[in-house]
Amino acid sequence: MQLIRISTIFALLAGSSAFAGEPLAIAIHGGAGVIERASMPAAKEKAIREDLEQALMAGYQKLKDGSNSLDAVVVSVLMLENSPHFNAGKGAVFNSEGEHELDAAIMDGRRRRAGAVAGVKRIKNPILLAQAIMERSAHVMMAGEGAEQFAAELGLEWVDTRYFDTPDRREQWEKAKRDELRGGASSFSPTRYFGTVGAVALDRNGAIAAATSTGGMTNKRYGRIGDSPIIGAGTYADAHCAVSATGHGEFFIRSVVAYDVCARARYLRVSVSRAATDVVRKELKALGGEGGVIALDARGKVSMPFNTPGMYRASIDASGRITIAIYADEN
């Protein structure tokens, strides 16, 4: 577990309702995959941990101030979208045409409302569009140009597509292209080229929410859409459980991972932690799917299992325990 500044912890948790019988909790992730100490420059690791801390604390502060869980997950995901270190918003991966196609989803567990967007190219923060679809339209999912038209009508911020570019993502895309030319499609390793951001939260009224945002998979083709914007696959919340997933989306879609975690917890009467761990490390792994989830129950218990070498993750559970971690050997 990453130890963060003591002054930050005490300033944030002082007087928190988490210690007055009203549990608050939040968990975030910045993607899972081949994330190893040996290949992580120290300066980059430090910057990523700082971004995770800031996004976590921003969401938790919302909860502490009395905002609902939807506001908390949106502000955390928004900050991760604005960071160049994660595959969402700024820093999104390139598709096969050298462009960016962004997906996002949000779900209100108490009323099971949801909003999702897929394949947009010019919306600065797709999570805000997903939220707008949930709250200001009669639909659950919009895609492509139609979704962008709706965003324009609402006045959401647009950016030039070059805004999403970063040197690291371009280098990653160029390597994927070289690998493809040398060995054909069979040489492509999705494990090294996916990523997502997400958040789940519990507010003082006992309401749970989940949100997820992604640039998809490096070098993706044919308008490919992964699990992140698909309710039940990469994002799900009900009155008892919330899940945001990250990984090789095709497997998460086929296994309906986010819903499966919550359904197992509810119908098998096991903990969300047990349900999430079984799905990610047994069921998903058996199919060849790689990735992880963050999951939260209505008592503020957090679970963050993954089956890859690392997952960018952070949480504050109902007891006030803070975790900021990257690698598999961090608890």
Instruction: Please give the positions annotated as active site.
Output: 196
- H or E segment and range at residue 81: helix 69-81
Q: What does the alpha-carbon distance between residue 113 and residue 105 come to, in Å, rounded to a whole number? A: 11
CA distance 27 to 247: 17
- Tell me how far apart the alpha carbons of residues 308 and 231 are, in angstroms, rounded to a whole number: 23
CA 53 distance to own-chain centroid: 15
Query: CB neighbours (10 Å) of residue 159?
Result: 14
Rg (CA), the chain: 18
Burial 55-84 (b: 16+ CB within 10 A, else e): bbbbbbebbbeebbbbbbbbbbbbbbbbbb
Tokens read off for 299: 């008592």
Return d(Cα 60, Cα 190) in angstroms, integer. 33
